[in-house]
């Protein structure tokens, strides 16, 4: 586990990021932007050959303060955004991207100001007679055609997994000491 935000006062929530031990990364301290039940978030910076990627994992509880969420997300983006690196945001944002709502439009406006766009356009949570896309991945518009996204039904949760493959990122194996 590279980084995490863990609740201390309530059960069921939080965010974390796992990274393979062979990858070069550093955790990013954004804990002061978190508030349980409003915005639970963590981030890392990956250094992959000549590509730098900042990954942010988010959980936005459905009953949280939406203004707190968007205001603090804006502060996080302002801190981490760099036009020379890629930004990837993923997580359970509890905004159904299969419907046009005020919250979706407000979030999209914020994301657009940082050149970010949603890429999940299929249901991520199917329950009884409903299907929603409340889990999402956001990438920069410049990477829009450089990825593959696949849904994975893993049976471990009531949410399905999204697998993002960045097509133009190649990893060299770590140098071997002989």
Report the first-to-last Cα separation within the chain, whole angstroms: 29
**Each residue's pLDDT tens digit, 60-118:** 999 999 999 999 999 999 999 988 889 999 999 999 999 999 999 999 999 999 999 99
Beta bridge partners of 132: 125
CA dihedral 164, 168, 172, 174 (to 10 degrees): -40
- Class at the top of the CATH hierarchy for domain 3-166: alpha beta
Report pLDDT for 167: 81
pTM of the model: 0.89
Q: Find, among 6, 48, 9, 46, the residue nearest to 28 by Cα.
A: 46
**Each residue's pLDDT tens digit, 119-129:** 988 777 777 88
């Amino acid at each position: 586990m590279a980084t995490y935000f863990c609740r201390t006062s309530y059960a069921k929530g939080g965010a974390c990021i796992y990274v393979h031990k062979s990858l070069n990364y550093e955790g990013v301290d954004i804990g002061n932007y978190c508030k349980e039940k409003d915005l639970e978030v963590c981030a890392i910076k990956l250094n992959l050959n000549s590509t730098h990627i900042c990954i942010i994992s988010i959980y936005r509880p459905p009953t949280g303060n939406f203004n707190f969420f968007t205001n603090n997300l804006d502060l996080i983006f302002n801190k981490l955004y760099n036009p020379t690196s890629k930004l990837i945001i993923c997580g359970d944002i509890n905004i159904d991207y299969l419907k046009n709502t005020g919250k979706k439009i407000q979030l999209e406006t914020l994301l657009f100001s940082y050149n970010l766009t949603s890429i999940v356009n299929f249901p991520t949570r199917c329950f009884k007679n409903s299907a929603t896309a409340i889990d999402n991945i956001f990438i920069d518009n410049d990477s829009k055609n450089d990825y593959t996204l696949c849904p994975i039904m893993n049976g471990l949760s009531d949410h399905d997994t999204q697998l993002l493959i960045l097509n133009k990122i190649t990893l060299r194996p770590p140098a071997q000491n002989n």
